[in-house]
Structures are given as structure tokens and as C-alpha cells.
Amino acid sequence: MDTINQTDLVASPDGEDKLGQPMINVVRVSRFGNFELFLLPGFRERTFPGSDGRLRSGMWVDTDNPVYESAAQEDHVDGALRWSNIVGDFDVGLHYFRGTNREPGMVLSVDGDGNSVLLPYYEQMDQVGLDLQYTKEAWLLKLEAIGREASSDCYSAMVGGFEYTLYGIGGSSIDAGILAEGHFDSRGSNALTPLNKDLFVGTRLSWNDSADTALVAGGFVDLDNESIFARIEYERRIGSHHKIEL
């Protein structure tokens, strides 16, 4: 759903770290919800690890020679509209985006030394999306869905699931969240993400202490080939000036 902000794959290979985006954001708050307009000048290219970087693909991504569908290249001005509101126990949002796709395709090429490299290709796209959350006591039910149209492909993708929180485990200050979600991408094996038909199950532990200690652990199961990808994240502040993330 985070279409506006570019992903920074140098800072972290998990895709959660983002680059900032120059923008003009106008918000209209009313009893019918929040209406937002985004004007986005100055496109930022996705960062990839260098030839000696990790973790990277088998072939190096040459970020010095990107390819654009638009003749304006990185100067193309993008735009987005978003409406969000709270309706009873539901948080709902709708958006429309038109502009340069932040997720590049890859074009096979050869560099000056005759080595095979990948060139990032940024095409123009239109995207509509829905984000929905239902909150009821300790339950959170969530859904995110998009439909995207570009010259190379038209597809839809979604992720939906729930989180149930157990508060004060064993009389302690620790809260435990039970997480489950499913991922779907209509492109199947041609998707640029590995989460095209997968199930995630995991837990989130929050110690609720002064160091803001937290742990998230779980596993992704690919429903096509039954492969499993496990993931653990731990973070904690150390004193007033440092933080550790594992």
C-alpha cells in the first residue's frame, strides 16, 4: 500500500526501510472523512546493493543507467488522492495513484566491460487501493488490496489477516499477539514479490518496559511449492542514546 515512498534495499533487504519523497500534501478534514491530495515532484530511484554489496541478486543491478517509460524520466510529476474515515469499528481508506512505478522491472544488458547487468526499468502506472481494519476488543482484522494497470501488466494483489492480543501474560507486563495473514498476487509466479500465494503465522511479544523491548517471529509458507521462510526481529533501546535491532 505504501506506493509513494521508495524502498531502500541498501539499508535493509526486507524492503521495510523507505526513502523520503518530496511532496506537496493538502488535507481537507470534514465529517465525511479526510480528503488528501499529493503532488510528487522529483522521483527517487530504488537503491540496490552494489557489485560487492549484500544481499544482492546474482547479477548486479546497474543503478547508474535506469530506463524510464516517460520522456520526463525522474522529473515526471506524479499525483495521488486518498480518502480515509472511521465508520463505527472500521478504519477505511481508499486511494488512487498515477505516476512512475516505484517498483522497477529489470532489463538485461551488458556493461562497458562486457559483464551482464540488470537495468531498472520504471514504467508509468495507475493504481487504486483499499485498506480496511476492523477493531473489536482484543481483535484486529485487516485487509489491504490494490489493482494496478501498466503497459507491461495489469494485476491485483491483496493481503488479509488478523491479530489477537493476549494482555499481561502470566500476570506480567508482557503482551503477546497472535498473527496470521494470507497473501495473494494475480501474477502468480511472474510476480516481482515472493509473496504471491503465501500464508504467514507468527507472534508479536511486547515487554512494555522502559527499553521498549519487542520481538516479532513467524514463518511464511508458500502454498504452491511448500517452501518455508522464517523470520525473527528483536529490538530494544540501550540507555538514552542507542538502540539494538537484530
Q: What is the pLDDT of residues 188-224, one digit of tens each?
A: 888 878 889 999 999 999 999 999 999 999 999 999 8
Cell of 156: 491485483
If you compute the radius of gyration of the chain from its CA atoms, what whole number of angstroms results?
20
- 175-185 sheet: strands from edge to edge: 24-30, 33-40, 78-87, 90-100, 124-136, 139-150, 154-166, 175-185, 197-206, 214-222, 228-238, 242-245
Global pTM exceeds 0.85: yes
State yes or no: cis peptide before 119, omega within 30 of 0. Answer: no
Q: Whole-angstrom Cα distance, residue 218 to residue 180?
A: 9
Q: What average pLDDT does range 232-239 have in this prediction?
A: 96
Q: Whole-angstrom Cα distance, residue 80 to residue 24?
A: 11
Percent of residues, the chain, with pLDDT higher than 70: 100
Residue 33 confidence class, pLDDT cut points 50, 70, 90:
very high
Cell of 220: 511464511
Q: What separation, in Å, do the N-terminal and C-terminal C-alpha atoms of the chain show?
A: 25
Backbone angles phi, psi at 183, to 5 degrees: -120, 140
Domain ranges in the chain are: 1-125, 153-246
Cα–Cα separations (whole angstroms), residue 223 to 154, 161, 182, 199, 229: 23, 16, 10, 7, 12
**Can you tell me whether residue 227 is helix, strand or coil?**
coil
pLDDT of the residue at 114: 84
Other C-beta atoms lying within 10 Å of the C-beta of residue 32: 9
Residue 241 confidence class, pLDDT cut points 50, 70, 90:
very high
